[in-house]
Amino acid sequence: MSLPGWQPAAAAKLAYITVYLDGEKLPADVPPYIDPKLGATMVPIRTVSEGLGASIVWTQKTQTAAIAKDGDKIVLTSGNKTATVNGSPVPLDASVQNKAGRIMVPLRFIGENLGLDVVWDPSARSVVMRSKNGGENGGAGGEAGGDPGSDPGSDPGSDPGSDPGGGSTSESLRGAWISTVYNLDWPSTAASGNANKQKQEFSAMLDQFQRMGLNAVFLQVRPASDALYRSALVPWSKVLTGTQGRDPGYDPLAYLVEETHRRGMQFHAWFNPFRANTDTKTAALAGNHVAMQHPEWIVTTGTASYINPGIPEARQHIIDTIMEVVNGYDIDGVHLDDYFYPSGGLFSDDATFALHNPTRILLKTDWRRENINTFVRDLGASIHAAKPSVSFGISPFGVWRNVAADPTGSDTKAGVTAYDSMFADVRTWIRQGWIDYVAPQIYWSMSNAAARYDKLVDWWSGEVAGTSVKLYVGHATYKLGTAEAGWQSAGEIVNQLKYNAAHPMVQGDIYYSASSLLKNTLGIAQSLQNYYGQDLNS
């Protein structure tokens, strides 16, 4: 569940960082750094050529870098505020730089336009990138990312002992986020346009998850304002056939839900709410994509495009697309990740602030939070009115606010927070009962100095105490094997699970990403199997 962006370093000097691709540290003849003025991560051109496998042509006379890989071509010229990606102009915050003879390029812009998921962890001062076969964060931020992985729930809207939709009857929730954007987790690019192969891949994935002890999946059914389900409102996703809008020849979501329930597992439909597209290009979009139908709703920032949360009709459009799934499929839950407002970069909504502000909120920050609050409230009400058995949950960034910004916040020093960076007022959602569960992306280890896992579990436990909202925890299995403190052993995840077991407010765990589980990074599959096996037999 990928974070949409990151904040510039506070220090005036360059802040050096480490870069990883699929768990491997990338080469760098000079250290990558965050440019504090531009808020962009800059890496030497060698990192792109050797680490990402791209070809580079540097023209000294024009100070231009041409980067090509797998048919994609990016051209950046020093001083220009736009680049060209496959011939189309794209705005960017930072271009190529010539620093004392070293050519530096913006990592996130390059990585995402080459089809990678790029996730910034401010507490560890590292960038983790995942290839199309490596998984997306985020969720959850993300996305999780992140991807997140970011990105980013037994039925979260009912007692763990109930059994809606075929879920397990006596266990806490044990889920995995399955990213479809960029064909990260499912379906594979090798299965493009092949319905039988896509079905086989998903069934095999479920078999592996069950062996690990999992009982729920959270699958991304709306990766970029498109659909892995039959829709009258939005086009088929390109991850199914390679072309957005092309009918895959079957109803993927109907099969996914049926196959999941056949195993006694729960299926939660994961939506990226306000992401319009993973880039700013429109040439490959279907005619009924929201960016084509309502360009006035779209705001571009960095390398992505968003549906403007400040426009009431745009918010209702997203609710309508989600309700198609609620009404048309036997899902157990609706799940949102943290794609609300982007956490960094310029988001141009001054005109919307002036036009759609009926209560005359003075500060734009408060107005943005109210837009997201209204969306969450209205979506929850729609879901519960149509199908009370379907749970509604959200997976926000793991830090609501730092204690330095709010004395009731967590004892953390995160560079991004849900409330201040993404305008996600999660506390209000919990206290108002608009959601059935919250699944914060607590993507830090027990030994992380800036945002410690145990401190955050304690804080979120306090937030749901005395409410009807359940707490599930998002775990960063995608970080296993990286150099960040605490992630050199799968024992980190097991220790987190043991900590959760001692805190009764935690009623489930979700892992990001599916790829890290399926690849069995550092033996995580066996670790989960052993842990849950002991728990089931106790």
Confidence class for position 533, pLDDT limits 50, 70, 90: confident
* pLDDT above 90 (res 30): no
* pLDDT above 80 (res 163): no
Confidence class for position 46, pLDDT limits 50, 70, 90: confident
What average pLDDT does the chain have? 86
316 phi/psi in degrees, rounded to 5: -65, -35
* pLDDT above 60 (res 463): yes
Q: Which of 206, 215, 219 is nearest to 271 (CA)?
A: 219
Q: Is 61 exposed, middle or buried (0-12, 13-18, 19+ CB in 10 A)?
A: exposed
pLDDT at 495: 97
**Interatomic CA distance for residues 138 and 135, integer angstroms:** 9
Q: What value does the CA radius of gyration of the chain take, rounded to a whole number of Å?
A: 22
Neighbours of 13 (CB within 10 A): 8
pLDDT at 276: 96
pLDDT, tens digit (0-9, with 9 covering 90-100), for 312-357? 999 999 999 999 999 999 999 999 999 999 988 899 999 999 999 9
pLDDT at 123: 52
Q: Which two tokens stand for residue 82?
A: 């736009």
Query: Which helix H or strand E contains 369, and what residues bound it?
Result: helix 364-386
Q: Which of 7, 2, 182, 3 is nearest to 93 (CA)?
A: 7
Q: Report the amino acid identity of residue 283.
A: A
Q: Is 474 exposed, middle or buried (0-12, 13-18, 19+ CB in 10 A)?
A: buried
**Interatomic CA distance for residues 10 and 15, integer angstroms:** 9
pLDDT, tens digit (0-9, with 9 covering 90-100), for 363-416? 999 999 999 999 999 999 999 999 999 999 999 999 999 999 999 999 999 999
Q: What is the pTM of this model?
A: 0.73
* pLDDT above 70 (res 127): yes
Q: Report the amino acid identity of residue 43.
A: V
C-alpha 355: how far from its chain's center? Answer: 30
For 379, the 3-state DSSP assignment is helix
Which range (65-69, 433-437, 478-482) has the least confidence?
A: 65-69
Dihedral angle sign, alpha carbons of residues 442, 448, 450, 453: positive
Q: Report the amino acid identity of residue 256.
A: L
Give the Å distances, CA to CA, from 48 to 20, 32, 65, 272, 460. 12, 11, 11, 29, 39
Neighbours of 196 (CB within 10 A): 10
pLDDT at 470: 96
Confidence class for position 29, pLDDT limits 50, 70, 90: low
